[in-house]
Amino acid sequence: MVLSIDDSRPIFMQIAEQIEDDIIEGRLPEEAQVPSKNEFAAYHQINPATAAKGVNLLVDEGILYKKRGIGMFVATGAKAKLISKRQELFFEQYIVTMMREAEKLGITAEQLMSMIQRGDASK
């Protein structure tokens, strides 16, 4: 966990996103144990109930599952599920916004394509 919490959005969503990031980037492999709500609470100085809410959100989505008396674990197939969800979000959050900004600046679709290629090359 490297990201910090900001105060402008619901914290439980930020906790859920951080766990998602950790799964996508492989820091939390499938079938690995997720930190407890109290560990999240202590680490981020947040209310344990809030941390639990974030974790439970992912349980509801089938990303995490609960082993009774032991804790939370990453479900098998969670990574693929998250990636497809994030790709969908990527289009919404970045592409649509980018197109709007490009329009404002008078950047054509072709120019945009070449910019993307340039960005890809300098990566």
The yes or no reply on residue 4 touching other proteins (CB under 8 A) is no
Q: What is the per-residue burial (b if ≥16 Cβ within 10 Å, else e) of 68-78?
A: eeeebbbbeeb
The yes or no reply on residue 114 touching other proteins (CB under 8 A) is no
Q: How far apart are CA 103 and CA 99, in angstroms?
A: 6
Q: What is the per-residue burial (b if ≥16 Cβ within 10 Å, else e) of 96-121?
A: eeeeeeeeeeeeeeeeeeeeeeeeee
Question: Contact with other proteins (CB under 8 A): which of 3, 27, 31, 47?
Answer: 47
* Binding letters toward other proteins, positions 53-82, x by CB under 8 A: x-----------------------------
The yes or no reply on residue 97 touching other proteins (CB under 8 A) is yes
Q: By CB under 8 A, what part of segment 13-42 binds other proteins?
A: 37-38, 41-42
Q: How many CB atoms lie within 10 A of CB 47?
A: 13
Q: Which stretch binds other proteins (CB under 8 A): 3-11, 23-31, 57-65, 110-118?
A: 3-11
- Which residues contribute to the site for other proteins (CB under 8 A)? 5, 7-12, 37-38, 41-42, 44-50, 53, 97, 100, 104
